[in-house]
Amino acid sequence: MVNEIDIPKISQSHLFGIKNLEIDDIKKILDLANFFKSKNKEKNKNYPLLKGRTIINLFFEPSTRTLISFEIAAKRLGADVINVNIERSSLRKGESLHDTAQTLGAMNPDLVVVRHGTNDASKQIAQIVKCPVINAGEGINEHPTQALLDAYTIINHNKKLEDLIVAICGDLEHSRVARSNYYLLDKMKSKVRFVYPEYFKPKDLHKYNVETFNNLKDGIANADIVMMLRIQNERISELNLPSTQDYFNQFGLTYEKLKSAKSDALVLHPGPINRNVEIEDRLADDIDKSVINEQVENGVAVRMSCLSIMVQ
């Protein structure tokens, strides 16, 4: 059963970010995701490629979609999965990240999935454990599997990434999702726009080859993809933000504003959505426009692909 498909190799031994990946790596991950998506639609969804392997999900920040997606992906591949409960771990007793990584490494896992509030935490852990590490979102640095599943979702709607106009909108300053998506889309020759209110202007904007807009309707004009971002309240300090209603009026995506984009434009959002703040409630649930639920579904297949490739 597990010999139905060859698992490709990629240039990286860890998945720290899209920035490190080659174009061929991205294509291999997304191509393999096609196989797992088809398996996930079968009655028996298991494909025990990783039977006997142990995967640790080490999440220092709250997560619903990403954590559950990685857990389901690993279990469908037959792996033993350990979710580290930070609230009940020695980290709450003052244990350092270094000591935690040493402890986990001593247990000989086959892969560690890390979510952390600090940039480059996954690299720090990878220096200690003797197994591949996947970054499941760290600081405002990167969230590579989110960008991969976003690209996979776009491609599945028969949209080639080359020359695609993608408007990434909202809290650009604090978004690791935006940065990973930029790296992927730029590699694949999409035309990326950053659309943000001035108070969410990225401090590292000079690093990105993008068009910039401070008006949502202008920023999404003639766009193929409108990617809305969550306001990262947990990362915001010393900012005078407008009321949620004022933000929605200015930067919330509505049917009326979406008319500025192409008629077949897709609406994406990494979740969780602040409804009627970042996106109009009805629009978020409109399956003819929004592919938000598809993003969640595709996340399992893409993460199965990543786990299979990294654990060989």
**Tens of pLDDT, residues 183-229:** 999 999 999 999 999 999 999 999 999 999 999 999 999 999 999 99
Q: Where in the chain is the domain with CATH 3.40.50.1370?
A: 18-143+296-310, 158-290
Q: What is the pLDDT of residue 61?
A: 87
Q: What is the CA radius of gyration of the chain?
A: 19
Confidence class of residue 156 from pLDDT cuts 50, 70 and 90? Answer: very high
**Token output for 120:** 């480059």
The CATH number of 18-143+296-310 is 3.40.50.1370
CATH number of 158-290: 3.40.50.1370
Confidence class for position 242, pLDDT limits 50, 70, 90: confident
Instruction: For residues 271-281, give the mean pLDDT.
Output: 94
pLDDT score of 243 more than 50: yes
First-to-last C-alpha distance (Å) of the chain = 17
Contact 59, 107 (CB under 8 A): no
Nearest to 186 by CA among 155, 161, 222: 161
- Work out the widest C-alpha separation in the chain, in whole angstroms: 57
Pairwise CA distance, residues 107 & 186, whole Å:
39
pLDDT at 96: 84
pLDDT of residue 1: 47
Q: Considering the chain, what is the average pLDDT of its residues?
A: 94
pLDDT at 236: 66
Are 15 and 306 in contact by the 8 Å Cβ rule? The answer is: yes
Q: Is the pLDDT of residue 256 over 90?
A: yes
